[in-house]
Amino acid sequence: MIIIGERINGMFRDIAKAIREKDPAPVQEWARKQEEMGAGYLDINVGPAVSDRVDAMRWLVEVTQEASKLPLCLDSTDYDAIEAGLEVCKRPAMINSVPAIQEKMDRVFTLAGKYDAEVIGLAMSEEGIPKDSDSRIALAMELVANCDAYGVPVQNLYIDPLVLPCNVGQDHGPEVFETLRQVKLMADPPPKTTVGLSNISQGTKNRELINRTFAVMAMACGLDSAIADACDEELIAAVATARIILNMDIYCDGYVDVFKNQNK
Amino acid sequence: MAVEILKEKYRGQVREVVLGAAKDKGGTRSHTVKIGGETTLPFLHFEGNIPNRPVVAMEVWDIVPEGWPESLKSNFEDVYDDPAAWAKKCVEEYGADLIAVRFMSADPDGQDASPDDCIPTLKKVLEAVGVPLIIYGCGKSEKDNLLIGPLGEAGAGENLLLGVAEQDNFKPVASAAMANGHTVIAQSPIDINIAKQLNVLISELSTPLLDRIVIDPTVAALGYGIEYSYSIMERARFGALQGDRMLAMPFIANIGGEVWSKREAFVPHEEEATWGEQPERSMMWEATTAMALLQAGADLLVMRHPRAVELTKQNIDELMKDNSY
């Protein structure tokens, strides 16, 4: 599972302050730290409180790239901000995200084609998040069909089945796993999959334990990546172990360190 | 209808390792030899790059070898007592790409030669030939641990390929390589997990050494479990191509020592009438073992019989012809 490091997000106070004051230091420190911990992408989110999202996104992308070579995952519902970010990205990025709503898909898949970007597609529509896996899968199929129609390779699409907190939407858990399994049968080559991992544990008291338990269960169902806390050492160790058990990496006694040090 | 050729795309690459050092890098070799660098499985030129051809090293001992059959021995009869002349003959007459010197005189149960006794031989071989050298001790690790440091120091700057680092005994060789600019043979007992772990251990000692490791997966001779060696090498190479940095090293295959200690190399025709004449059979045993291991991904072959070397090099010529379409 590839970790999309979640820490450069204006929801966090230090990042919000950095954006406000145009101080690159905290952003770059998190970029380096997440890369060192083995993140494969860095999520970039300007947060809710910014007045000019386009400008903030462009600045965040630029300063992050000065500190890290990792590809970026541009996280916004404002597609003008995403495009501004894509314009200054030095290597192909990921767009986070698009729901199965036609005019949004039209805009995002056009951008993906233009900037050779990957796309996270959310299994939700105007009506919100479906309850069962069948409806999630139907929406995922719409995303796959649109992706293909716009000439974006299907393996550049990451389907997010959408995870709800396990203390609120407990019945969603099995539906998410079933969706992950079914998505892999949709096309050849199949789309990839992702989740916002910390959602599963929102409002609970055992956040890290729930996060890593969910992560390894989802990996067994075909989860390729997750937006997650790259600095959660126990999570990284659990992911490294799941990769061994799923025969994705070759075992050696030091496999956890090998996984952690993959960017070094 | 046109046939569409399926091509696998890998994101990884085998590390390219340079053996030997010429004047510009502080050595005295006439040229260096590069191995590794593949971006696909062996000889699938249509799918990726095989930038360096596999190479053949020939073995030279610092004592007159005991127990080699006459059909092998006769090729070196005039040079046996002179490792420098022996090395020269292998390079000039038999086309060896590298020379692998085995310091068998150090064997504590034999001559028990000291490091000081061995250093002059190393220097003479370095003077006699311009090709890069591989250095082995006598095979008994307690003694070899004492030998490798002084030999590494005596050959400082030559980028020798030093054998062998093992999981429970990697520091002497790795330290000698670090201190004097050499490359390491990392040997594991037909075990991919140990092969990987050993590279992890060496990299913890020195990260730059990661680019100066050649994996010896321990190969078996034909008929003695070569399929296990093949599986291990294939799996490691798949791992490397899929991005496993800790297995992305070229392979060395120690073929001569394996083949020439087996029954098929010795037993006379009279004892095994269906096996064919011993001189031809034993030589072919070595050549065939080498050819199978080339297909498994071997980048550097250590061999003994000149005719087997010749056949193997012809095979390499054929395999390196472009098959892209």
Q: How confident is the model at residue A169 (pLDDT cuts 50, 70, 90)?
A: very high
pLDDT value of residue B256: 97
Residues of B near A (Cβ–Cβ under 8 Å) read 192-194, 196-197, 200-201, 207, 235-236, 239, 244-247
Other residues' Cβ atoms within 10 Å of the Cβ of residue A199: 16
Which residues of chain A approach chain B closer than 8 Å at the C-beta?
249-254, 257-258, 262, 264
Q: Nearest residue on chain B to A257, judged by CA atoms?
A: B200
User: Which residues of chain B does A36 touch, with a Cβ-Cβ cutoff of 8 Å?
Assistant: none
When pLDDT is averaged across residues A188-197 and rounded to a whole number, the result is 96
Q: Which tokens sit at B277? A: 């004449």
Share of chain B above pLDDT 90, in %: 95
Q: What is the pLDDT of residue B84?
A: 98
Nearest to B46 by CA among B80, B93, B3, B16: B3
- Burial group, residue A48, by CB count within 10 angstroms (0-12, 13-18, 19+): exposed
Q: Do B244 and A254 touch (CB under 8 A)?
A: no
Instruction: Look at B196 and A252 and tell me if their CB atoms are within 8 Å.
Output: yes
Q: Alpha-carbon distance B261 to B174, whole Å?
A: 29
Q: Which of B207, B236, B246 sits opposite A258 (nearest CB)?
A: B246
Average pLDDT of span A135-149: 97
CB nearest A250 (choices: B196, B201, B207): B196
Contacts of A253 in chain B (CB under 8 A): 193, 197, 200
Residue A257: list chain B partners with CB under 8 A. Answer: 200
Residue B249, SS3 per DSSP: coil
Q: For residue A206, give the H/E element and its range.
A: none
- pLDDT of B305 higher than 90: yes
**A-B contacts at Cβ under 8 angstroms:** 30
**Contact between B197 and A262 using a beta-carbon 8 Å cutoff:** no
Question: With an 8 Å Cβ cutoff, are A252 and B197 in contact?
Answer: yes
**Over 90: is that where the pLDDT of B3 sits?**
no
Q: Do A257 and B236 touch (CB under 8 A)?
A: no
pLDDT value of position A97: 97
Helix, strand and coil in chain A, % to nearest 5: 50, 15, 35
Q: Give me the pLDDT at residue B2, please.
A: 81
Return the pLDDT at B160.
Answer: 98
pLDDT band at B60 (very low <50, low <70, confident <90, very high): very high
Judged against a pLDDT cut of 90, whether residue B265 lies above it is answered with yes
pLDDT at B6: 86
User: In terms of CA atoms, which chain A residue is nearest residue B195?
Assistant: A252
**If you average pLDDT over every residue of chain A, what do you get?**
96
Do the chains contact at A249 and B244, CB–CB below 8 Å? Answer: yes
Q: What is the mean pLDDT of the segment spanning B263-291?
A: 95
Q: Is B16-319 a domain of CATH 3.40.50.720?
A: no
What is this structure's pTM?
0.90
**Res. A32 pLDDT band, cuts 50 70 90:** very high
User: What mean pLDDT value characterizes chain B?
Assistant: 96
| Predicted pLDDT of residue B324 | 77
Coil, helix or strand at residue B300: strand
> What is the distance in angstroms between the Cα of A189 and the nearest Cα belonging to chain B?
13
Would you state the pLDDT for residue B323?
A: 83
Report percent pLDDT > 90 for chain A.
95
| pLDDT value of residue B4 | 83
Average of pLDDT values for B243-258? 97
The residue extents of the domains of chain B are 16-319
Of B319, B233, B279, B226, the C-alpha closest to B68 is B279
List the single residue in A with minimal CA-CA distance to B237: A250
At B27-37, the pLDDT tens digits run 999 999 999 99
CA closest to B191 among chain A residues: A252
| Burial readout B298-309 (b: 16 or more C-beta within 10 A, e: otherwise) | bbbbbbbbbbbb
pLDDT tens for each residue of B104-136: 999 999 999 999 999 999 999 999 999 999 999
Using alpha carbons, select from A53, A141, A155, A135 the residue that is nearest to residue A105. A141
On the question of pLDDT at B325 being above 90, the answer is no
Please say whether the beta carbons of B84 and B124 come within 8 A. yes
A251/B247 touch (CB, cutoff 8 Å), yes or no: no
Please name the residue of chain B whose CA is at the shortest distance from the CA of residue A248: B239
pLDDT over 80 at A263, yes or no: no
Per-residue model confidence (pLDDT) at position B180: 96
pLDDT mean over B140-160: 97
pLDDT bin (cut points 50, 70, 90) of residue B66 is confident
CATH architecture of A92-99+114-231: Alpha-Beta Barrel (3.20)
Q: Which backbone phi and psi does A128 adopt, to 5 degrees?
A: 100, -160
Please give the residue of chain B at the shortest CA–CA distance from A247.
Answer: B239
Across the interface, whether the CB atoms of B200 and A254 are under 8 A apart is answered yes
Determine the pLDDT at residue A237: 96
Question: What's the burial of A165, exposed, middle or buried (CB within 10 Å: 0-12/13-18/19+)?
Answer: middle
Domain map (residue ranges) of chain A: 1-91, 92-99+114-231, 232-264
Question: Looking at residue A71, what is its pLDDT?
Answer: 97
ipTM score of complex: 0.86
Residue A22 predicted with pLDDT over 80: yes
